[in-house]
Structure 1
Amino acid sequence: MGTVVVGLNTLENCRAAVEWAADAADRAGADLDIVCGVQPPPVVDTWSVGYGREVLDQLDAAAREELARARDLVRDRVRGEVGVRLVHDHPRPALLAAARGADLLVTGARPHHRLRSGVLGGLQLGSTSLYAAGHAPCPVVVVRGAPAEGARDLVVGFDGSPAAVAAARWAAGHAAATGGRVRVLLVQDPHRDGHRAGSLTAPVLEGFLDALRVRVPGARVSASVVRHHHPEDVLLEASGTCALLVVGARGHSALASALGGCTSHAVLHQAATPVAVVPRPAPV
C-alpha cells in the first residue's frame, strides 16, 4: 500500500472514519491523506462577488481547522506521512480525484438529525459516501459503525462473479496484513438464484479458496454456503461479529454489489461494522 485517503467534513462526524483510516495506513506502512472538499458558493450577479469570496474564506478557515484537528488526532498513530488537503470542489469529485492512484478510500457517516423508528440519534449514510462506494477507482471502506470488540476477521459476500472474486482477493490480502481470517459467504436466494445454485457448490468454493491461498500466501480463508430468501439479512447478521464486511461492485454506473443492488444498499446502510466495497478490475 502507498496511500490511504479519508474524507472529512467535520471531525465530529468523521472521527471513526479518520481513526479507522489511520490504523489501516499504519498496518500497511502507508501514508494517510485527509481530504476536505469545500464547494465555492455560486456567484449570482456582480454584486455578490465580494460576498461569495467572504463566505468561501469563512468556509476555508473552518475546514482548515477541522483538518488540523484530524491530523493532530492521528499523527502519532501512523508510521507514514499524515497529510491534509483542502480542495475547492464538491466533496464527491474532490474525493474521487484524491482516490486516483490511492490504494484505499475511507468515508464515514453522519449523525441522524431527526427521529427514525422511534430512536433519536444514530448514523446515516450520506450521498457522498454512497457515491464514492459506487464510483471510486479503488476499494472504499465506509465506516458507519465500530467493529465488534476484538474482532479481526472479515466476511466476504460472494456469488462467483468477477466482482466477487476481486472482493475476496482484496479481503485475503487485507486479512493477511492484519492477522485476521476470511470467511467467504455464499448466500443463495432459492427464488432469485435457483438457476445458478448448482454451479456454485461447496466443492467449487473450496477450489476457489485453494487458488486464493496460493495467490495470497499466509491467507487463512474458509467458506460457507447459506440458503436464504433474504441474503442481506444473512450478511447483516454476520456483520455483528466481524471486523469488516466486504462486497464487490459490478461497475461505476451505479452502486451494485456482487450480491445485487438491494443487498448492497441494505448492507451499506445497516451493517453494524465497517463495509468495504471493492471495484471490479478494469479489463486488460
Structure 2
Amino acid sequence: MSGSIIVGTDGSPAATAAVRWAADDAARRGCPLRFVSVVDHWAYGIPKFPVSGGDPLTSHAERALSAAEAVARERQPDVKISTEIIEGIPARVLRDKAREAVEIVLGSRGLGGFAGIVVGSVSTHVAGHAPCPVVVVRPGWSGGRGEIVVGVDDSPECEPALAYAFEQARAHGDALRAVHAWQLPAHPLAPEITYDVEEVREAHRRVSREKLADPRGRCPEVPVREEIVYGHPVDALVQASRGAGLLVVGSHGRGALGSAMLGSVSRGVLHHAECPVAVVRSPSSSRAGST
C-alpha cells in the first residue's frame, strides 16, 4: 500500500498510545510510519521573548520523536520509520499533513489539554477536517484484539467508513460488527401518528443489508455480524465499543468551523467510546471542509 501512516506526537500518554496503535497498523497493512511533532512558538510568546540556551520547544519535540521511534521499533522492528518537526499551529499542520497520508493517528488529548476533557481540540479539529481516515487513541491503550465495529446508516457518507472498516477487519483478521441504530420519528404536533414497528424494523434491516452488500462482495473473507438496534446511534455504538479493537464511523458534519465538521454521532463516539475510534470522511465533505 502506498502512502504513510502519519502520527502526531508530543510525548503525552495519549500520543504514546497512538504510536503503539499506528505501529501495529503499519505492520498489518505494509505502510511506512511518519512521526510528526509540531512546534508552536506563538502559543507561548517565544518569538516575542527569545530565550537563551537554545529552543526548549524544539528540544522537547526532538525528545518526543525519539521516544516515539523507540516505542515503535520495540513493538514492530520491521516497520519503516521517519520523523519530522514542523513549526506552526498543531491542528492546522496535522490537518494539512493528512493530505499526504493513508491515515493519520492521534492521541485523544495532548500535553496542552485541560484535565477532564476527553478529546482535545487538536484531535477534534483534525478528525473533522482531514481528507483521510483519522484514528483517535486514548491513553492506556496497549493492544489486544477485538472485533471491528462500524456504524451503518442510509447516507452516502457511510460508504467510505464501511470500506475502511472492512479493510481493517481483513488486516486484523477479525470479524466485523455492523451496527445500525434506529428510532421512530417523533411528531410533537401530531402525536396521533402511529407506526407498524415490525415494518419499520424490517425497512432498517433492508437498509443495512443493502449498504453492506458491496463491501461484502469485495471482502468475502471477512465475517460480518449485522446488528439492528433500537436506540440512539451514539448509545448503540458506545455500547458496541466495549471490548472492540476499533470503532469506525462516517462523518456527516457540514459546518464551516471546528467540531461542527464532525457531526453529532462521530463527535459523541469520540468522547465516549471505550476503544480507538476511526472517523472517515467522504471525499466530497473533506474537500468542502478543507478551507
Q: TM-score, normalised by structure 1?
A: 0.83
* Corresponding residue of 1:262: 264
Verify the 8 A CA contact 1:41 1:56 in the aligned structure 2.
no
Call closer, same or farther: CA 1:233–1:216 in 2, change over 3 Å.
same
Cα deviation 1:196-223 (Å, max 9, x = unaligned) = 9578422342243332221234222231
Give the direction of change, closer, same or farther, for the CA distance of 1:10–1:83 in structure 2 (3 Å limit).
same
Q: Deviations over 1:41-68 (max 9, x none)?
A: 3798xxx868336598221111111111
Aligned to 1:20: 21
Give the Cα separation in 2 of the matches to 1:282 and 1:78: 37
- Asked if 1 retains the 8 angstrom alpha-carbon contact of 2:23 and 2:79, the reply is no
Between the two proteins, the alignment pairs up a number of residues equal to: 271
Partners in 1 of 2:63 and 2:181 — Cα distance?
Answer: 45
| Structure 1 residue 225 displacement after superposition | 1.1
In the alignment, which of 150, 154, 170 is matched to residue 164 of structure 2? 170
CA distance 1:35–1:234, change in 2 (3 Å): same
Distance in structure 2 (CA, Å) of the matches to 1:55 and 1:137: 40
Say which of 228, 239, 242 aligns to 2:241.
239
**Using a 3 Å threshold, how does the CA distance of structure 1 residues 197 and 268 change in structure 2: closer, same or farther?**
farther
Determine if contact 2:11/2:67 at 8 Å carries over to the other structure. no
| Cα pair distance change 1:29/1:234, threshold 3 Å | same
Stretches of structure 2 lacking an aligned partner (at least 5 in a row): 188-193
- Output the amino acid matched with 2:177: R
Q: Quick check: 266-275 or 8-17, which moved more? A: 8-17
For 1:170, the aligned partner's letter is Y
Partner of 1:82: 81
Match of 2:39 in 1: 38
Q: For structure 1, which runs of at least 5 residues remain unmatched after alignment?
A: 117-122
Letter in 2 for 1:106: V
Match among 156, 172, 175 for residue 150 of structure 2: 156
Q: Paired residue for 1:106?
A: 105
How far residue 28 of structure 1 moved from its aligned partner, in angstroms, is 0.7
Deviations 1:109-166 (A, max 9, x none): 238864x5xxxxxx72110000011000100001026679743311111112111121
**Partner residue in 1 for 2:190:** none
Instruction: Output the CA distance in 2 between the equivalents of 1:155 and 1:103.
Output: 20
Root mean square deviation of aligned Cα: 3.2
- Over the matched positions of the two proteins, sequence identity in percent amounts to 34
Query: In structure 1, what is the equivalent of residue 49 of structure 2?
Result: 51
Does the alignment pair 1:218 with 2:218? no
The answer as to whether partners of 1:256 and 1:264 remain within 8 angstroms in 2 is no
TM-superposed CA distance for 1:81, in Å, is 1.5
Paired amino acid for 2:89? H
Give 3-state SS (helix, strand or coil) of 1:103's partner.
strand
Residue 119 of structure 2: aligned partner: 125
- Alpha-carbon contact 2:253-2:263 (below 8 Å) kept: no
Quote how far apart the aligned CAs of 1:168 are. 1.0
- Structure 2 partner of 1:119: none
> How far is the alpha carbon of 1:226 from its aligned partner?
0.9
Letter in 1 for 2:163: R
- Which piece of structure 1 moves more, 218-227 or 129-138? 218-227
Note the C-alpha offset of 1:261: 2.9
CA spacing shift, 1:42–1:152, aligned 2, 3 Å: closer
TM-score scaled by length of structure 2: 0.81
In the TM superposition, residue 244 of structure 1 has moved relative to its aligned partner by 0.7
Distance change in 2, residues 1:92/1:245 (3 Å)? same
Is the 1:240–1:271 contact (alpha carbons within 8 Å) kept by the matching residues of 2?
Answer: yes
Is contact 1:142–1:275 with CA below 8 Å preserved after alignment?
yes
Partner of 1:120: none
CA contact (8 A) 1:6 1:21 kept: yes
User: Within 2, Cα distance between the matches of 1:205 and 1:50?
Assistant: 56
CA–CA distance in structure 2, aligned partners of residues 281 and 197 of structure 1: 31
In structure 1, what is the equivalent of residue 279 of structure 2?
A: 277
Name the CA distance, whole Å, in 1 between partners of 2:233 and 2:206.
21
Given that 1:145 and 1:271 are in contact with CA atoms closer than 8 Å, whether structure 2 keeps it comes out as no
Change (3 A) 1:57 1:145: closer
